[in-house]
Structures are given as structure tokens and as C-alpha cells.
A = this chain, B = another copy of it.
Amino acid sequence: MSAASVPGSAAWWRGHEERLARRRPHTDGLTLEVVLTEALALVDAEGMDALTVRALATRLGTGSSTLYRHVASRDELLVLLVDAVLGEVRLPDPELPGRERVEQLSTELRRVLRSHPHVVPALSGSPILGPNAMRASACGLDNLLAAGHPPERARAAYLALLDYVLGSVAFDAAAESPGATHDRRPRSDDVFAFGLTTFLDGLERG
């Protein structure tokens, strides 16, 4: 398998845009968009393990081999699914002050991912370089620049913050501190907000 064909890599995404552009309509009514919409519905409803090529095909009223005319592999499907979810992220109002935008985007990314919890493990499977990821990513970096941090520092802060947000989504259901009891779920958002504030405080005064 050539490097360019690894789903999710930068080279793969470049090839994917090209492929989409020169694609002619299929004779079946099926669109990649419909495939992804239905895949997401299936994952949301029944979990990631339920997203088999066969089950998705059945849901779409075709055979599994038909899906391979829209998607090259299950891995590719997952990569596209992750970016589709990231397409739900609403960017903050650019009129707002930098720090507020940082807080809003972080919280919004977390909200979107938590609304599709079964998709989250797929985030760590491959790089996150799709168009919707890049859109949010560019915004995230801009916000930190707008907050007054020099480029190098803004970039480090952006990357660290992204790790924190993604980590909070991927692991907050997973992690548990010793002596913790019930009702930790309602607190998860509080912990996230606390960590975000703490980090941004350190960034401002550091």
C-alpha cells in the first residue's frame, strides 16, 4: 500500500478531494453523503462495532460490494465519518475577544464529540486532517493569536489545548480517581471547565 493511499494522511486527503471532483453520478441513487449520514446514524444508535460494511449496506438497501463504489475500505469510511462529525462544530463569533473565542471553540468541540460518543475512539486511529478538521484547526490557532500570543507560543498552546479537549472527551468516561463514588457524570463538565480555565490562566500570566 503506497503512502498516498493511507486513509487520513495528508496525501490521501489531497487525492480524495480530486477523486470527489471528477466523480460522475452513480446510477444507483447512492451518494457518499448519504452513506456517511447513514453510517453516523448507525454508529450513534448501536455503537462502533455495529458499523460493519454489511450492516451499513443492508441499512442502505444494497449489497456490501456496492458500498465499495463509494468508499475504498472501512478505514476510509471511519476517516470520513470523523470529519463529517467535525463538520458540526460551529465556529465562534470573530467579533468576540480572543480568550472567549478559545473557550467557546473548545467547549463546542467537546459538545459535538460528546454528542457522538461512539465516534470518539476513531479519532485516535488516524491523523485528523480533513477539511472540517482544518477549518476548526485554523480557527483555533487564530483565536490564540488574536488573544495576543506570539506565533510560536500560540501554536504550542493550540496543540496542547487540542490534546486536552480531545483527551477530556476520550477519557472522561474512562478515567476515575480513587475514592470516587457515583454522580461523577454531572461533574465531568465542571472538571473540563476547570481545566480549561486553569490552562488559559497559566497561559495569560505565564
Number of copies: 2
Q: Shortest CB–CB separation between residue A79 and chain B, in angstroms? A: 11
Could you tell me if A156 and B123 are in contact, using CB atoms closer than 8 angstroms? no
Interface secondary structure of A, over-half rule: helix
A206 / chain B contacts, CB cutoff of 8 Å: 197-198, 201-202
Cβ of B159 and Cβ of A172 under 8 Å apart? yes
> Which of A158, A168, A174 gathers the greatest number of chain B CB atoms within 10 Å?
A174
A45 to chain B, nearest CB (A): 19
Interface centre among A141, A172, A198, A200 (most CB of B within 10 A): A198
CB neighbours (8 Å) of A132 from chain B are none
Q: Given A170-B170, A201-B205, A205-B205, does the pair A160, B195 have CB atoms closer than 8 Å?
A: yes
When distances are taken between beta carbons in the complex, the residues of chain B under 8 Å from A205 are 201-202, 205
Chain B residues whose CB sits within 8 angstroms of the CB of A129 once the complex forms:
176
**Pairs A-B, 3 closest by C-beta atoms:** A167-B167, A160-B195, A202-B202
Point out residues on A near B: beta carbons under 8 Å. 10, 120-121, 123-129, 134, 137-138, 140-141, 155-168, 170-178, 180, 190-192, 194-195, 197-203, 205-206
Query: 26 A-B residue contacts at CB 8 Å?
Result: A121-B121, A123-B170, A123-B174, A124-B124, A124-B174, A127-B173, A127-B174, A134-B178, A140-B177, A155-B177, A155-B180, A156-B190, A156-B191, A157-B198, A159-B172, A159-B177, A162-B167, A163-B172, A163-B192, A164-B164, A167-B167, A167-B171, A198-B199, A198-B202, A202-B202, A202-B203
